Amino acid sequence: MKDNKTFEMIVKPIIVLSVICLIVSGLLAVTNNATLPVIEANNKKIADAARAEVLPEATSFSQVEYTDEIVTEVYKADNDAGFVITGKAKGYGGDLPVMIGIKADGTINLIKVMDNQETPGVGKKAQEPAFTDQFIGQADTGSVSTIGGATISSSAVIRVVDGAFAAYNTVKEG
């Protein structure tokens, strides 16, 4: 009698919960497999839209193999309009991701500071046009000034752009 009561109170709930966990885990795996292609396609569409924003002359992009300490992605415009290079450097609030559109002549078309954790009102100034527009038309960062009070954030953006120029000079010849 005591063994039957132990089974009913301890072992049976463990078995039932284990079966429920197995079923739910299986359903989650099936759901993940079904939605993964949709999620990847959506992420690609969002990334292509961001690339088109910094290099609008491009018709489409192909990824180029190149990574280093700063540069995370390099995409070449299929119509030879230039390159879109993404990188990140340590800012005040953590990694500061930047996407740079470099035209075929080696000058910057546009830079876009991506989502980051920089301090609102101070470090976030590094993503405002008053700072980022300094890069447009430049072939280096020599004439770009940092932002007073946001030196760490603006210096991080400059480091990423310098890394993008290094990547551009490496991959431009194919």
pLDDT in tens, 110-123: 999 888 877 787 77
Q: For residue 151, is it within any domain?
A: yes
Give Cα 16 to chain centroid, integer Å. Answer: 43
Q: For residue 89, is it within any domain?
A: yes
pLDDT band at 72 (very low <50, low <70, confident <90, very high): very high
Domain that holds residue 138: 55-171
pLDDT digits (tens, 9 = 90+) for 2-60: 667 777 888 889 999 999 999 999 999 999 999 999 999 998 898 889 999 999 999 99
The model carries a pTM of 0.78
Amino acid at 58: A
Query: Distance between CA 153 and CA 174 in Å, rounded?
Result: 32
Q: For residue 8, is it within any domain?
A: no
